[in-house]
Structure 1
Amino acid sequence: MDLFFLAISATFVNNILLAQYLGNCPFLGVSKKLETAIGMAAAILFVTSLASLFTWSVFTFVLKPYGLQFLQTLTFILIIASLVQLVEIILKKKSRTLYNALGVYLPLITTNCAVMGVALLIAKKELPFSEMMVFSSFSAIGYGLALILFAGIRERLLISAVPKSMQGTSIALVTAGIMALAFMGFKGMAS
């Protein structure tokens, strides 16, 4: 049951994007179209889950036993950058349209603080393997959920009567704030 509450907490209550505000750049950049948001959410899920597995393994079996925790940031960056390159190669071969649609935002996963934040939180909390996999996967699912919902809202805003002074980034940031408040409503559910 603890894993269930961890999953709910990582997805809704402590959403890596809306509660901790990590991964903001792709959130605002890729959320203009629903199809690119779905592709980015899938890429984030894949990279975050795989990066967490590798960073947890390296931290648990190499860095911590040898007292090299001070190298975790550099090590995690190298692991995440390598995995993003792998995703980029796969997308280039398997889904050229998604690769072109993501454009500059795919390399941004390399420096996406949501992916790095999840890896660092796992290392800081020293989660066991099962909790690490649940936390990383559901943090990425929560990020993707917020991204997809936000993209749907932004598409609707394009056909809505938004005051001229609020169009563009202004209404996007106000909407993100309202979404963060809505996700906070789950706090009593999994505290």
Structure 2
Amino acid sequence: MDSWLVFLGAAFVNNVVLAKFLGLCPFMGVSKNIASALGMGLATTFVITVAAIASWVIERYVLVPLGIEVLRTIAFIVVIASVVQFTELYVQKNSPSMYQALGVFLPLITTNCAVLGVSLLVVQQKMSLLTSILFSLGSSLGFTLVIVLFAGIRSQLSLSKVPESIQGNPIAFITAGVLSMAFMGFSGMA
């Protein structure tokens, strides 16, 4: 039961985008098209999950035993960059159209603060390996859910009559705020 609570809490209640405000750059940049948003979400899901697990292992078996926790951020960034490079090569080889659609945003997963944020939360909260896996998977799937939902809403907004003064990014930010308030409703779940 606790495992599901960690997973669901990370995906809905403590969503990295809507509750912790991490990963806003790809959230706003790639959410104009549902297919691109889904591709970015799935790539980010893979990167967040693998990076958090690798970061947990590095923290537990390298940094802490050697007493070099001060190098945590640098070590995690190297891990994240490696995982993103692997993901980019995989997507480029197996889905060239998705690679073209994601464009510059795929390598920018390296600088996505949600990826580093989840890795840091895992080690700072001293989670076990199983809890780390569930937390990172829940956080990353929550990221994917939110970016795809937002892309769907934005595609509907493009078909709607929006006052000229708030077209584009202003209405996107207003919509993101409303979506964030909607997800706050999950915080009442016990």
Q: Normalising TM by the smaller chain, what interval?
A: over 0.9
- What amino acid is aligned across from residue 29 of structure 2 in structure 1? G
Separation in 1, partners of 2:38, 2:78: 26
Matched, 1:101 2:90: no
Structure 1 position 53, deviation (Å): 1.1
Mapped to 2, the partners of 1:37 and 1:13 lie a distance apart of 21
In the TM superposition, what is the alpha-carbon distance from 1:64 to its structure 2 partner?
1.2
Match of 2:157 in 1: 157
SS for the counterpart of 2:19 is coil
Match of 1:2?
2
TM-score by length of 1: 0.98
Residue 127 (1) aligns with residue 127 (2) = yes
Structure 1: tracts of 5 or more residues without a match: none
Could you tell me which amino acid in structure 2 is paired with residue 176 of structure 1?
A
Name the % identity: 48
Cross-structure match for 1:180: 180
Structure 1 residue 90, shift from structure 2 partner? 0.5
SS of equivalent residue, structure 2 residue 32: coil
Superposition TM-score, scaled by structure 2 size: 0.99
Letter in 1 for 2:181: L
Runs of 4+ displaced beyond 6 Å = none
User: 2:2, 2:166 → 1: CA distance?
Assistant: 43
Helix, strand or coil for the counterpart of 1:150? helix
CA RMSD of aligned residues (A): 0.6
Partner of 1:60: 60
What is the rounded CA distance, in whole Å, between the counterparts of 1:2 and 1:91 in structure 2? 34
| Match in the other structure for 2:32 | 32
User: Matched residues in 1 for 2:121 and 2:64: separation?
Assistant: 15
1:112-169 Cα offsets, whole Å, 9 max, x none, are: 0000000000010010011000000000000100000000000000000100001000
CA distance in 1, matches of 2:12, 2:91: 29
Distance of 2:108 and 2:27 partners within structure 1: 11
* Contiguous gaps of at least 5 residues in structure 2: none
Q: Which amino acid aligns with 1:5?
A: L
Q: How many residues align?
A: 190
Instruction: Describe the SS at the equivalent of 2:17.
Output: coil
2-structure distance, mates of 1:184, 1:69: 34
Structure 1 residue 43, shift from structure 2 partner: 0.1
